[in-house]
């Protein structure tokens, strides 16, 4: 009877188990990382939308300031900032439409803002043309109308509504991002702990198997086993313990 060498088997099992655990760890980390990246992208998009909304409001104010400066002074120097601001407003609004394309409520608000902005920019452009034509008094009268102020107020109100909505979305998306990161950390810790426990268990099993093998080797050489407080022959031990009858012992050459 030859006792098999169990250490190579245990080592192979340990390596295979470790590889499986590592694959599971990498898979879960990849899934958690993908979710975290997606949440981070949503947060980044929301912040970009907020910046664009703030920029549109600032450029609208700059365009209005340039228009009034030109009408009041007749100095062409005011037209440079005016033209730059109006172009930037149109570019930012186009970018906002792309950014909120997946949010129907925000898209509806943006379309209203675009309509109001076009009306306001058309008014600014018309008064500048009147100034160029020498009709300053007419241009000034348009600037002073309640309608002119109401357009700008409506644009600012619409931009603020969109900003408030994005702020609410941002809070939710930031919370989701934090949860995804914490979930990933917990998975990593749990799997690392499981891997450590498995390695410890394999080490204990390997040491126990080696001890058992050494004990059996000793018993084979002495042809005796300690069982229930007395030393008996190995054949007697097999009979009492496993009810197995043998006609020969274990040869040392078989080990």
Query: DSSP string spanning 194-247?
Result: HHHHHHHHHHHHHHHHHHHHHHHHHHHHHTEEEETTEEEEHHHHHHHHH----S
**Residue predicted with more confidence, 140 or 213:** 140
Six-digit token string for 164: 């408030």
Please state the rounded mean pLDDT for residues 19-24.
66
Angle formed at CA 202 by CA 25 and CA 32, multiple of 5 degrees: 10
The architecture in CATH of the region 7-197 reads Up-down Bundle (1.20)
Six-digit token string for 8: 């190579």
| Nearest alpha carbon to residue 18 among 184, 194, 205 | 194
Number of residues written out for the chain: 255
Under the banding of pLDDT at 50, 70 and 90, the label for residue 219 is low
Contacts of 252 (CB under 8 A, 6+ apart): 220, 221
- The pTM for the full model equals 0.61
User: Which range has the top average pLDDT, 151-165, 183-197, 209-223, 228-242?
Assistant: 151-165
Q: Determine contact, residues 86/124, Cβ cutoff 8 Å.
A: yes
Please state the rounded mean pLDDT for residues 160-166.
94
Gap between the Cα atoms of 254 and 216, Å rounded:
12
- Average model confidence (pLDDT) for the chain? 78
What b/e sequence results for 196-218 when a residue is b if at least 16 CB atoms lie within 10 Å of its CB, and e otherwise?
eeeeeebeeebeebeeebeebee
Query: What are the CA-CA distances from residue 127 to residues 133, 145, 242, 248 (Å)?
Result: 10, 12, 108, 118
Q: Determine contact, residues 136/130, Cβ cutoff 8 Å.
A: yes
CA of residue 89 relative to chain centroid, distance: 32
Q: Which helix (H) or strand (E) holds 193?
A: helix 146-222
| Nearest alpha carbon to residue 160 among 110, 87, 94 | 110
Under the banding of pLDDT at 50, 70 and 90, the label for residue 198 is low
**Residue predicted with more confidence, 163 or 197:** 163
Six-digit token string for 172: 């939710």
**Residue predicted with more confidence, 177 or 98:** 98
Q: Does the structure show a pLDDT above 80 at 122? A: yes
Domain chopping of the chain, boundaries = 7-197, 223-254
* pLDDT at residue number 111: 96
Contacts of 104 (CB under 8 A, 6+ apart): none
Q: Does the structure show a pLDDT above 50 at 200? A: yes
């Amino acid at each position: 009877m030859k006792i098999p060498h169990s250490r190579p088997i245990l080592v192979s099992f340990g390596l295979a188990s470790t590889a499986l655990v590592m694959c599971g760890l990498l898979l879960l980390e990849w899934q958690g990382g993908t979710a975290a990246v997606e949440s981070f992208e949503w947060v980044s998009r929301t912040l970009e939308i907020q910046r664009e909304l703030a920029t549109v409001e600032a450029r609208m104010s700059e365009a209005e300031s340039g228009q009034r400066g030109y009408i009041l002074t007749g100095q062409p120097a005011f037209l440079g900032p005016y033209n730059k601001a109006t172009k930037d407003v149109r570019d930012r609004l186009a970018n906002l439409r792309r950014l909120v394309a997946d949010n129907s409520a925000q898209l509806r608000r943006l379309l209203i803002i675009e309509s109001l902005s076009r009306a306001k920019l058309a008014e600014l452009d018309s008064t500048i043309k009147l100034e160029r034509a020498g009709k300053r008094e007419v241009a000034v009268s348009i600037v002073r109308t309640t309608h002119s102020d109401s357009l700008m107020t409506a644009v600012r109100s619409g931009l603020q509504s969109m900003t408030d909505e994005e702020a609410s979305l941002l809070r939710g998306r930031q919370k989701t991002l934090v949860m995804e990161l914490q979930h990933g950390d917990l998975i990593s810790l749990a799997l690392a702990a499981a891997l450590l426990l498995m390695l410890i268990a394999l080490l204990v099993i390997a040491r126990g198997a080696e001890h058992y093998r050494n004990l059996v080797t000793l018993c084979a050489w002495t042809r005796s086993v300690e069982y229930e407080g007395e030393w008996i022959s190995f054949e007697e031990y097999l009979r009492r313990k496993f009810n197995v009858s043998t006609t020969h012992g274990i040869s040392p050459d078989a080990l």
